[in-house]
Amino acid sequence: MLVALLGLAALGTAHAQRDLAGHWSQRFHEDLPERGAGPEIGDYTGLPINDAARLRADSWDAAKWTMPERQCEPHPADYGPRGPAALRIGSTVDPIAQDVISWDITVMWMLPHRTIYMDGRPHPSPNAQHSWQGFSTGVWEGDMLKVTTTHLKEGWVRRNGLPRSDKATLVEYFLRNENYLTLVTVVMDPVYLTEPLVRTSDWVLDTGLQLSPFSCIPAIEIERPRGTVPHHLPGTNAFLEEYSQRHGLPIEAARGGAQTMYPEYVPKLRRLIEGGAP
């Protein structure tokens, strides 16, 4: 009797999980202005950033990407789903127990590969190396896969210089509903964010999808004096107000911050645009 009950319990657990394996075609509609061609310089709207993040972004110069050390950087795990991100998801299965030991994810843009360990292993020591995809472990919460990622290299929350530090933790929820896959990402960064940054991205199962090959070899694109690092000194970035001017936004709103994420900010924004007191 006990054995039968345990067997049923095990079956119940297995059925609560979802098979994430397959090729997934991306749906790009959410937050479209900051995806694809990318965000404008000085657009910090709707992000829970602090002053340290603003200064990093104000100092950022897109010429950074011409440096040989930067040309082949892929998106980190927390930003990858926002870029061109058709997915191939596979699994590694224990041949006897048939448990999924790991989920293996490859993203289309630059083909970064992630492994999500499901075998309960601990995260590495603080002295271990960081990587673009970090170290990920997963657990099922009902039919939702919760993934926790640490050991990320420094990355970005928006592609205009807004940083995400290497002290950040990424928590993700993978939700499969029939042929639809939704990923909820929650970035917690004690260095540059005042609140968790929550975003969602979506995919549709696509059995005909194939990821394109990719390879990157850096080259000297611009001759510069040794050790030159492109950046703007504080107060000298002439491009920072272009975004707010082009869209008729008060500069205060363009500077972002947690309050600009919430609906309660809309009336304040309206007053700012009309020139009234905030």
Binding site for another protein (CB under 8 A): 51-53, 55-56, 59, 67, 69-74, 110-112, 124-132, 153-154, 165-167, 190-192, 215-216, 226-227, 229, 231, 233-234
Q: How far is the CB of 101 from another protein (least distance, A)?
A: 16
Q: Return the number of the residue (124 or 142) whose C-beta is nearest another protein.
A: 124
Neighbours of 270 (CB within 10 A): 10
CB of 56 to another protein, least distance (A): 4
Give least dist CB 167 to another protein, A: 7
Residue 27 vs 70, nearer CB to another protein: 70
Q: Are 59 and 237 in contact (CB under 8 A)?
A: yes
Determine which helix (DSSP H) or strand (DSSP E) holds 22, and give its type and residue range.
Answer: strand 22-27
Nearer to another protein, 154 or 206 (CB): 154
From residue 146, how far is each of 174, 184, 210 by CA, in Å?
7, 9, 26
Q: How far is CA 54 from CA 43, 60, 87, 258, in A?
A: 10, 10, 32, 13
The sign of the torsion formed by the CA atoms of 42, 45, 51, 53 equals negative
Q: Kindly state the smallest distance separating residue 128's Cβ from another protein, in Å.
A: 6
* Residue nearer to another protein on the CB measure, 92 or 194: 194
